[in-house]
Amino acid sequence: EPEVTQTPSHQVTQMGQEVILRCVPISNHLYFYWYRQILGQKVEFLVSFYNNEISEKSEIFDDQFSVERPDGSNFTLKIRSTKLEDSAMYFCATGRGDTDTQYFGPGTRLTVL
C-alpha cells in the first residue's frame, strides 16, 4: 500500500539556522498539508497546498515558513530562521480530494538548540 514518506526522521539544528523538511506524497494525491505537534500538545494545522499554491495557512505559519513542490514530487517545508519554540514533530499529509481522507507520513522530529 502506498505511503507518505518524510525525511529526515530527526533533525537537530542551532537556533537561527534554516531547515528544510521533505515529504514524498502518495503518487496520485493532489492536496498537501503540513501539521506540527509540540511535545505534549495537540496536532496543529500549519498549511495546505494545492495546484502549486498555498490554499490556507494558520497563524503559526508566519514569514519564517514556506512550502514548495520544487520538482513535482517532493513537498517541502522550509523554516528560514529556526527558534527554540519550533521544536516539534512535523507531519506531512496528503489527500486525493479537498475533503478526502488525509494520509500522514511518519513525521520529522525537529529539535532546535
Partner 1 sequence: AQSVSQHNHHVILSEAASLELGCNYSYGGTVNLFWYVQYPGQHLQLLLKYFSGDPLVKGIKGFEAEFIKSKFSFNLRKPSVQWSDTAEYFCAVTPISGGYNKLIFGAGTRLAVHP
**In the bound complex, what is the minimum distance in angstroms from residue 63's beta carbon to partner 1?**
20
What are the two backbone dihedrals, phi and then psi, of residue 77, each rounded to the nearest 5 degrees? -120, 125
Q: How far apart are CA 40 and CA 38, in angstroms?
A: 6
Site for partner 1 in 90-109 (CB under 8 A): 91, 93, 98-99, 101-107
Which segments of 3-94 does DSSP mark as H helices, in order? none
For partner 1, the closer of residues 31 and 82 by Cβ is 31
Count, in order, helices (H) and strands (E) of the chain: 0, 11
Site for partner 1 in 45-74 (CB under 8 A): 45, 48, 50, 55-56, 58
Give me the residues that bind partner 1 (CB under 8 A), please.
31, 33, 35, 41-45, 48, 50, 55-56, 58, 91, 93, 98-99, 101-107
